[in-house]
Amino acid sequence: EAQVTQNPRYLITVTGKKLTVTCSQNMNHEYMSWYRQDPGLGLRQIYYSMNVEVTDKGDVPEGYKVSRKEKRNFPLILESPSPNQTSLYFCASSLSPDRVNEQFFGPGTRLTVL
Amino acid sequence: GNSVTQMEGPVTLSEEAFLTINCTYTATGYPSLFWYVQYPGEGLQLLLKATKADDKGSNKGFEATYRKETTSFHLEKGSVQVSDSAVYFCALNAGGTSYGKLTFGQGTILTVHP
């Protein structure tokens, strides 16, 4: 089954404790992206990747890091989480950047930073 | 820059009522426009799209027409069902320097009662 998986689905942590949210897709997609969803703000792009070893900042990259060492994986790293990073996070992938509207979205990771 | 504005929610309707969710946009060039739906506990799914002026996107009884003169892409459905209860996002892809990037509106929560 074609899918985007994220782990963990739920995470409660404390300020400053490094964490990683994993994202994996099994569709051989080139393009992957991370979004955060906040009430009243919709989805905002954090980082995206056009292909392996190619990543770029989205609209709200501060406080986040990503890597793309393999095509299928695109982990999101919070080196020193803060309460303003409490949010619902979605990973997404598409075959190529020009098919971004056909993105497959993961189920989401709800992060709470205390 | 590019932006999408949706009508304030939440929207509460009775089954079989007519639905309109307004969406207007600001973009350089000629963007492609989309509506996404997010069911409870899930990621986003593409509902419909329109890639040029006067195009009408349609799917599952929902329709939206790309109106360049009013920079709008309002979502409509003639008779809603309880199963349509979800969050709806309007989005655009402006291409050019925004290649591979989606800009989302803030989302509109729809609740349909029996």
B43–A90: do the CB atoms touch at under 8 Å?
yes
Q: Which of A25, A33, A93, A100 to mutate to test the interface with B (most CBs of B within 10 A)?
A: A100
Give the Cα separation of A43 and B10 in Å (integer).
17
Mean pLDDT of chain B: 92
How many CB atoms within 10 Å of residue B82?
12
Backbone angles phi, psi at A102, to 5 degrees: -100, 25
Q: How far is CA A25 from CA A10, A52, A74, B14, in A?
A: 19, 13, 9, 38
Per-window interface: A 22-41 vs B, CB < 8 A: 31, 37, 40-41
Residue B114 to chain A, least CA–CA distance (Å)? 26
Q: Which of B18, B28, B30 is nearest to B74 (CA)?
A: B18
Query: Does the pLDDT value for residue A87 go beyond 90?
Result: yes
Query: Does the pLDDT value for residue A40 go beyond 90?
Result: no
User: What's the pLDDT score for residue A97?
Assistant: 77
Query: Does the pLDDT value for residue B114 go beyond 80?
Result: yes
Give the Cα separation of B87 and B63 in Å (integer).
16
Q: Which of A40-49, A92-101, B34-43, B63-72 has the lowest mean pLDDT?
A: A92-101
Residue A105 to chain B, least CA–CA distance (Å)? 5
Query: Does the pLDDT value for residue B100 go beyond 90?
Result: no
Please tell me which residue, A102 or A51, carries the higher pLDDT value: A51
Q: Which of A65-74, A100-109, B34-43, B63-72 has the lowest mean pLDDT?
A: A100-109
User: What's the pLDDT score for residue A1?
Assistant: 84
Interface check B1 vs A, CB under 8 A: no
E strands present in A52-96: 54-57, 65-66, 76-78, 87-94
With beta carbons less than 8 A apart as the criterion, state whether B96 and B29 touch. Answer: yes
Nearest to A31 among B34, B100, B105 (CB): B100
In the predicted model, what is the mean pLDDT of residues A49-72? 94
Mean pLDDT of chain A: 93
Tell me the three state secondary structure of residue A101. helix
Interface check A97 vs B, CB under 8 A: yes
- pLDDT-based confidence at residue B112 (cuts at 50, 70, 90): very high
Nearest to B107 among A42, A48, A108 (CB): A42
Q: Which of A83-87, B74-78, B96-100 has the lowest mean pLDDT?
A: B96-100
Give the Cα separation of A88 and A35 in Å (integer).
8
Q: Which of B93, B45, B48, B44 is nearest to B75 (CA)?
A: B48
B102–A101: do the CB atoms touch at under 8 Å?
yes
Residue B107 to chain A, least CA–CA distance (Å)? 5
